[in-house]
Amino acid sequence: MSSTEPLQIVRPDTEQAEALDRPWVVIVWNDPINLMQYVAHVFRKLFGFSKAKADQLMMDVHLKGKAVVSSGPRDEAERHVFALHEHGLWATMQQDD
């Protein structure tokens, strides 16, 4: 490898940087078994939501089939998904589009 080779200036890949910035959302999906009261309780306990907010998200899960319960860095989303799985809820995470 020659040291006289012209220096390649690495330009920041703006697309990739944006991808890193986009938050990860945690989604809870409707399922036919989990009880509505239980789901709302878990939301309150894990995320500290008010009763009204937890109930609203639970109703979204129930009626619309899913709800976004958190949004943030990937490691935080993984912790949330883990805790939701520990409570038996059907949760997944994906990068926000």
Biggest CA–CA distance in the chain, Å, is: 70
User: Rounded to the nearest 5 degrees, what angle is found at the Cα of 16, between the Cα atoms of 1 and 93?
Assistant: 130
Note whether 86 binds another protein by CB under 8 A.
Answer: yes
For another protein (CB under 8 A), the number of binding residues is: 23
Choose one: 2-10, 11-19, 79-87; the region binding another protein (CB under 8 A): 79-87
Hey, which residues between 40 and 69 contact another protein (CB under 8 A)? 41, 44-45
Tell which one of 20, 31, 73, 96 touches another protein (CB under 8 A): 31
Three-state SS letters, 38-52: HHHHHHHHHHCCCHH
Choose one: 2-10, 13-21, 28-36; the region binding another protein (CB under 8 A): 28-36
Tell me the angle at which helices 36-47 and 74-86 cross, rounded to the nearest 10 degrees: 140
Tell which one of 20, 73, 85, 96 touches another protein (CB under 8 A): 85
Note whether 38 binds another protein by CB under 8 A.
Answer: yes
Note whether 23 binds another protein by CB under 8 A.
Answer: no
Residue 72 CB neighbours (<10 A): 14
